[in-house]
Structure 1
Amino acid sequence: MFDRRQFLSAAGGATVAAGAPLPPRQAQAAPRGSGGTGAPIDRHALVSRHNVVRTSASQEWPLQVGNGSFAFNADITGLQTFTPFNTLANWAWYSGPLPPGQKPSDFQGEVWDTHGRPVRYWIPNDTQTALSDWMRMYPQLISLARPGLRMVTRDGWDAVIGDLTDCHQELDLWTGTLDSRFQVDGEPVRVRTCCHPDVDAVAVTVESPLVDAGRLSVFVDFPFVDTIDKRAVYVGDWDHPDAHETGLVRRAGRRADITHTLSGLHDMTYHAGLRWSAGAELNAPAGGPLTITSARYGAGGAWVDVADRLRAKVADDSLFATVDADLVGTETSAGDILEVVYRLGGDVRRERVATGAELRIGRLADKHRYTLTGGEHGRVEFVLLFSPDAARSVPQPDAVFAAGARHWPRYWKSGGAVDLSGSTDSRWFELERRIVLSQYLEAVNDAGSFPTQESGLVLRTWWGKAQMEMYWWHAAHWALWNRWDLLDRSVGIYRRLLPSSRRRAAAQGYKGAKWPKMIGPDLRQSPGETNVLLIWQQPHPMFFAELDYRAHPTRETLEKWREVLFATADFLASYAFWDEPTKRYVLGPPLQVMSENADAKTAMNPTFELSYWRMGLRIAQTWRERLGLSRDPGWDKVLHGLAELPVEDGVYVLYEGVPDMWTKYNFDHPGPAVVYGWLPGDGVDKDTFLRTAHKVFVEWQVDRWSWDFPMIAMTAARIGEPEQALHWLLYPGGANNIDDAGYGDTHGYPYLPDNGGLLYAIAFMCAGWDGAPDRHAPGFPDDGTWTVRWENLSPAL
């Protein structure tokens, strides 16, 4: 196991003199040219050396193509043939029926004492459980469709994943194209997959002798909504085909429009426009009677005839069942399989299903499955375009690939770049790989008009809802990497939220605008104790606005953020409570701290939030001065009267009075250690902070959240310990494990804040920060082992 104490000693401890004053906060000019020497970075070579290559299947970690607001997640076949990965768009939301006789405006929440006055919070109460559950669950993100391949082996069975050999799949980052190759019965199959950069369309080309042999066809299947689980790796319910409807309208020129309607609070209908190549034919869902011809269970030479048992379980010309002892009538084994030969209408099919897997056959199983059969010259091509309306024109497959081939090189040539290939430190390749893959994943998942969920467009977490405290980690990196066109798509969320946020603040007796935590596309705050008591998202608009002004110091920028900033500052000032006995403004209780591990009814004066409050009010006053206005005296009163950052035993702690912090509460996000790292240090004493940072480096439990690592790395860089910064970026193990596709592994699923945080930290370490040492790449060691070439990055605050 890694010994952090030994590492800290080897790294030499602090290199900033104790008692040194905090550096000035003056703005630095955003560099536009190279941050290194010599020729410009060869961006094609930089990106292409990190193409993702797979030779085996993953059941939980797909490869993606997408455009920032729409993503298609593929298995080893380049489609969703064997694994029902997701097809997600940030406009595709569903709301189920409300509890009978209730509506959202009926929700009462709970009233908590807040400094001697009753305040109503949207916290679930015992009398409205069903309504609060509905409000948390809906709207929820849905998966649009599952396209895949049906391949038939030489002996007539539907191919399973074990029938694939010689798999080789490569994600070409430079063009955003996924190239998947494999063999079935020795016959080659090649699938190329690409997403259109401007519309929510995926294009696919399939080439194989199996096409001409009639043994390969394409299916497109539509699921219902799996409404219960807040987290879903596979976002779809295939067991209730009668709960939703699909319809087909054929168009001229090998085109069709498939409508999918989900009944709920308001019936949701969306459209899948389909265009396919010459020689192929689109077939509507199969119907007719289901007849079990034969069925056996076992393996090798030991088989049990189970046809009669399966026939007895057929209902409505369908059979949905788990392959277990109840289905087959005998003891089951993990290595055994069920083989079924059946006729559906006039079509004879053969399927093999593993023990424990789901058998779904018959009319209902095929009710929402459309197929493309045939092709020309061993080739079939198609495009699926998803839209909430039917007005879209579906492009030709080659047009989608051409659009992707134009778009992705433009993306890679825009904004910043970091090349570490000249380094002698053996870690350079892994760090550069993470940087490049994070840029790809952020462009696919986090570049839409609505803030994404924590798992991006890979799977569903918290029913797909955005967590606004995490918006900074998804989006702030666009500013330092000078990709403002992508940040501008979503940062207007604050203006959209302003009216409801003003109402939220007023309802609780505060001025200004109180920003929500967890929201869906309806912008409604989701109930929950942490949802309504977490406060560290409140100053985020100040951070974004200041980054914007550094890059665009114009009157237009000042006016763009003016209303949002002033409303935010009004809330920050009115939320702070004047505590007469101690003659200071305090934060809380009630509140929930950044690390979400406190008793919300007693927590007060958290270190991170106090420093962030100061930073927010400081920036708001600076904004007034830039606009030619006088400083707001109420804001200044709170700014200068806020409680000091809490200290115990010479180090900062999570919040004032926290019990047993270093043995019981040294987990989740280390807020005390990032107020002079990620944040610029408002209210921080340097001596105290250095002791705090070093204690956190050694004693914090860090294997829980992937974005903690770039957050701590920024602290190490700012205090002058670049080797520590690199260690934290590449921390071995736990949530900082980054897979071959670049996903961080937090709680067992892809977690995009890790990627955004890494990109911000890298720009921080390359281009510097306010008051950074005047040398090249100040966040990297200056010992000759790292050659850091960078272009078009901007310094951090």
Structure 2
Amino acid sequence: MNNTGERSGIDRRALVDRHAVEVTRILPAAPLSVGNGELCYTVDVTGLQTLPDLYPVAGHGDAAPGTLLATQSQWGWHSVPGARRYDLAETVREYQTPRGPVPYVDMRGEVTGTGEAPESAAESWLRNNPHRLDLGRIGLVLTGRAADPTRAGAGTADGVAPAGPVRAPRADELTDLHQRLDLWSGTITSRFRLAGAPVRVETLCHPDRDVLAVRIESGLLADGLAIRIAFPYGAEAWNNAADWSRPEAHTSTSYPTGRGHLVRRVLDDTTYEVGVEASAEARFVRTDRHEFLVSTGRSVLELVIGFTPGAGGVPVGVGPAGEGAAGTRPTELPSWDAVAAASRRHWPGFWSRGGAVDLADSHDGRAPELERRVVLSQYLTAVHCAGSLPPQETGLMVNSWRGRFHLEMHWWHGAHFPLWGRADLLERSLGWYARILPRARETARSQGCAGARWPKQVGPDGRESPSPIGTFLIWQQPHPIYLAELVRRTTDSATALRRYADVVLESAAFMADYPVRGVRGYQLGPPLVPAQESYASLRATATNPTFELAYWAWGLRVAQRWRRLLGLPPEPAWEKVAANLVRPHVRDGVYTAIDVPPYTVRDDHPSMLYALGVVPPTDLVDPEIMRATLHAVLADWNWDSTWGWDYPAIAMTATRLGEPATALDALLHPAEKNGYLPNGHNRQTDLLPIYLPGNGGLLAAVALMTRGADADAGRPTPGFPTDGSWTVRHEGLHPMP
């Protein structure tokens, strides 16, 4: 039977340790990462970025592949300058709506699953910029005699390039591979032999600073093994954060410091600095315009690398290294020991607080895999989705959509944090909405509405991207209300109310003003594109998607509750709209996706299901009609066209309908896009090699299945069968609304 006690005494160290990631060969799709939500460093089997070409990311069409091995941050962005700056107004087009003609940022070119075809230079530049940067590649190289045993002498002198060749090791030179990601300490330990010599590498990231720490132990260090640090230009490519073909377009200026070196990076209007400090007797030399080597004559090399936006270190009145530089005043970096100690304090604290789910005593053969996915998803979302900006779908590992983030995905990246008792990790990015509130208000005003309309595909400044899909989506609009409500329910309510009141109330003000009253009630659209984006070509005529109708009603009523809690009078218009929205369309006894032909196409997201599942119960949705809809979808949906978050979303619907076996079957459905790699990532395609909304959605679904929702009135583990096949021990979780 299920154990539902909140104080179940779970041995969290044992739970986490049994899912440490062990790697004994090169896994091209599944590298490992260390990070803190703001900075992430992804490594190959050497514990560094030594073999980037062996970890490829496909590009659209004939575009060159990128690599999964990036160093990315929340603040590292770049824009390619053009002959002129393009204005978003150049992409605006009027659409007919029930309130008259309304301007929308649009895209006359095409966006398909295989690529993009912008019609104008403005469309192209505005979609491509700003893009997230790869801040630097840090990998092993062989120099001198180690690179070419036929050469005598391998050494380097301070400030002088090494004698002889410099090359990356080849994969066939690596043997006896063993790599382990220790989740409890946030440490990647990599052991291997390189050309027969043993090498051990430890890789960590500081939990609170944008600082990496690497420790290498090998006798080969004294014979030519070194670390190369190289810097690329920013890339406008869909999938690639680094452009290595334009060395003349950026600068890397090195300054010696008291404990190491500072590299000042300038890429057009973007500047950042990289501090490099190494153990005693280490040498730092420039080998090319944007490449540096760190080497030592000892058998141990400790390296700390810190990344800082802007110009943090101030040169002291002299030129750069090699030109009489005497030093700088950089931000002081911690020692290797200090970074390691901070990581080894932080991660046990992370795992020891918040939620835990232990399935070890279950008899269902799927339990170990589900538990593995749950544990690894907690690590991955902490690394990739807990920063100061809403995450991109591929986190901080590799660019997708040029590193720009999708606000309709924010719920899937972050809603689980409060449910698992870690609301502070969501709050890091939730505050961003207040920063772009003026821009969101202007969008609403330009379309004749009150409040704030949130964009879809954006960078840090919140500027919309031209799109035939994104600017017409509306299901991101209630997300800040839902996310703020989760924070309020799981933390100090008064603080949350004060912090997010403007965002919640302005979101609701737009939601109440956007629908227009017709003969059947207040309708949504046209134009719009529902969450099931298959109807994008119908955006000028699509109306009343089932999911969005339910979400609209629920969101408006939550915002009304916030008004009461804030001591404000209710807004009569909000309740009037919520109570009089068009009823979701029913055809042949099931809910359709939209209420105009073709009603439902059976690919992409089966979003009508999420009107009761992701969305809590509302008076718009009949549970029995939803049950029929659920089973109709399960019978014949095109699963190859779905995405990773669909499976947890379906599991949430089944759970709310009281069908735990169906919920588990959906959550663990053996579809390609519902697979989880050895590193825990949810792979989709060669173009989308990792997909954090799948990981975050899994955690949200498991929270609902385990802890339940308000409507369950304490019913234990509503998403797991009670036939004895599952034993679910849990603690620290919060119920969903």
TM-score, normalization by structure 2: 0.88
Give the number of aligned pairs: 669
TM-score, normalization by structure 1: 0.82
1:754 alignment partner, one of 694, 699, 718: 694
Judge conservation of contact 1:246–1:259 (CA < 8 Å) in 2: yes
Matched, 1:488 2:413: no
Counterpart amino acid of 1:162? D
Larger Rg: 1
Aligned to 2:504: 565
Give 1:171-190 correspondences, 5 Å limit: 171-190=181-200
- Distance in 1 separating the partners of 2:495 and 2:542: 40
Offset of 1:588 from its aligned partner? 0.8
Aligned to 1:82: 51
Matched, 1:409 2:348: yes
Secondary structure at 1:470 match in 2: helix
Matched, 1:541 2:480: yes
Offset of 1:103 from its aligned partner? 3.8
Matched, 1:280 2:201: no
CA-to-aligned-CA distance 1:501-559 (integer Å, 9 cap, x gap): 11110111011111111110112111212121000011112212322232246444333
Judge conservation of contact 2:30–2:678 (CA < 8 Å) in 1: no
Aligned to 2:712: 772
- Distance in 1 separating the partners of 2:696 and 2:423: 14
Give 1:590-669 correspondences, 5 Å limit: 590-598=527-535, 599-659=538-598, 661=600, 665-669=601-605
Secondary structure at 1:739 match in 2: coil
Offset of 1:766 from its aligned partner? 0.9
Aligned to 1:63: 32
- Distance in 1 separating the partners of 2:36 and 2:262: 22
Aligned to 1:149: 140
Secondary structure at 1:654 match in 2: coil
Offset of 1:125 from its aligned partner? 5.0
CA 1:628–1:148: 2 relative to 1, 3 Å:
closer
> What is the CA RMSD across the aligned residues, in angstroms?
1.8
CA-to-aligned-CA distance 1:463-499 (integer Å, 9 cap, x gap): 1111001001111101100112212211112211221
Offset of 1:38 from its aligned partner? 7.2
Judge conservation of contact 2:417–2:423 (CA < 8 Å) in 1: yes
Aligned to 1:240: 246
Offset of 1:102 from its aligned partner? 4.1
- Distance in 2 separating the partners of 1:415 and 1:404: 18
Q: Which moved more, 1:733-742 or 1:105-114?
A: 105-114
- Distance in 2 separating the partners of 1:674 and 1:702: 16
CA 1:202–1:715: 2 relative to 1, 3 Å:
same
Offset of 1:386 from its aligned partner? 0.6
Secondary structure at 2:496 match in 1: helix
- Distance in 2 separating the partners of 1:547 and 1:180: 39
Judge conservation of contact 2:593–2:599 (CA < 8 Å) in 1: no
- Distance in 2 separating the partners of 1:564 and 1:226: 33
Offset of 1:694 from its aligned partner? 1.0
Aligned to 1:92: 76
CA 1:645–1:553: 2 relative to 1, 3 Å:
farther
2:266 alignment partner, one of 244, 261, 268: 261
CA 1:101–1:560: 2 relative to 1, 3 Å:
closer
Aligned to 1:386: 307
- Distance in 2 separating the partners of 1:262 and 1:564: 34
CA-to-aligned-CA distance 1:11-30 (integer Å, 9 cap, x gap): xxxxxxxxxxxxxxxxxxxx
Matched, 1:373 2:295: yes
Secondary structure at 2:201 match in 1: strand
Identical residues among aligned pairs (%): 43
CA-to-aligned-CA distance 1:541-579 (integer Å, 9 cap, x gap): 221232223224644433333222221121111110112
- Distance in 2 separating the partners of 1:674 and 1:758: 15
Matched, 1:671 2:607: yes
CA 1:514–1:386: 2 relative to 1, 3 Å:
same
Judge conservation of contact 2:6–2:731 (CA < 8 Å) in 1: no
Secondary structure at 2:555 match in 1: helix
Judge conservation of contact 1:713–1:725 (CA < 8 Å) in 2: yes
Aligned to 2:644: 706
Secondary structure at 1:562 match in 2: helix
Offset of 1:35 from its aligned partner? 4.0
- Distance in 1 separating the partners of 2:211 and 2:481: 36
Secondary structure at 2:51 match in 1: coil
Q: What runs of 5+ residues in structure 1 fail to find an aligned partner?
A: 1-33, 286-365
Aligned to 2:59: none
Give 1:687-726 correspondences, 5 Å limit: 687-703=624-640, 704-726=642-664
Judge conservation of contact 2:131–2:235 (CA < 8 Å) in 1: no
Matched, 1:168 2:170: no
Counterpart amino acid of 1:113? Q
Offset of 1:397 from its aligned partner? 1.1
CA-to-aligned-CA distance 1:86-117 (integer Å, 9 cap, x gap): 0000100001113x344426535111112262
CA-to-aligned-CA distance 1:646-677 (integer Å, 9 cap, x gap): 1111100100023273xxx1111111112111
- Distance in 1 separating the partners of 2:529 and 2:735: 31
- Distance in 2 separating the partners of 1:711 and 1:188: 47
1:139 alignment partner, one of 130, 140, 158: 130
Offset of 1:37 from its aligned partner? 7.5
Give 1:450-489 correspondences, 5 Å limit: 450-489=389-428
Aligned to 1:51: 20
Offset of 1:189 from its aligned partner? 0.7
Q: Which moved more, 1:520-529 or 1:620-629?
A: 620-629
- Distance in 2 separating the partners of 1:702 and 1:178: 35
- Distance in 1 separating the partners of 2:170 and 2:477: 51
Q: What runs of 5+ residues in structure 2 fail to find an aligned partner?
A: 53-66, 110-117, 151-164, 314-329
Aligned to 1:745: 683
Offset of 1:184 from its aligned partner? 2.0
Counterpart amino acid of 2:736? A
Secondary structure at 2:647 match in 1: helix
- Distance in 2 separating the partners of 1:106 and 1:39: 58
CA-to-aligned-CA distance 1:252-276 (integer Å, 9 cap, x gap): 23x110112112xx2x121110000
CA 1:242–1:630: 2 relative to 1, 3 Å:
closer
Aligned to 2:92: 109
- Distance in 2 separating the partners of 1:498 and 1:394: 36
Counterpart amino acid of 1:383? V
Offset of 1:230 from its aligned partner? 1.4
Counterpart amino acid of 2:233? F
Counterpart amino acid of 2:663? A
Judge conservation of contact 2:644–2:684 (CA < 8 Å) in 1: yes
Offset of 1:368 from its aligned partner? 1.2
CA 1:207–1:669: 2 relative to 1, 3 Å:
same
Secondary structure at 2:81 match in 1: coil
CA-to-aligned-CA distance 1:694-748 (integer Å, 9 cap, x gap): 1112222233300101000111111111111111121113101100000001223
- Distance in 2 separating the partners of 1:532 and 1:153: 53
CA 1:38–1:656: 2 relative to 1, 3 Å:
closer
CA 1:38–1:493: 2 relative to 1, 3 Å:
closer
- Distance in 2 separating the partners of 1:217 and 1:384: 15
1:230 alignment partner, one of 238, 262, 271: 238
CA-to-aligned-CA distance 1:37-88 (integer Å, 9 cap, x gap): 8751111110011011111113343210001111000011000011151000
Judge conservation of contact 1:175–1:405 (CA < 8 Å) in 2: yes
- Distance in 1 separating the partners of 2:578 and 2:8: 48
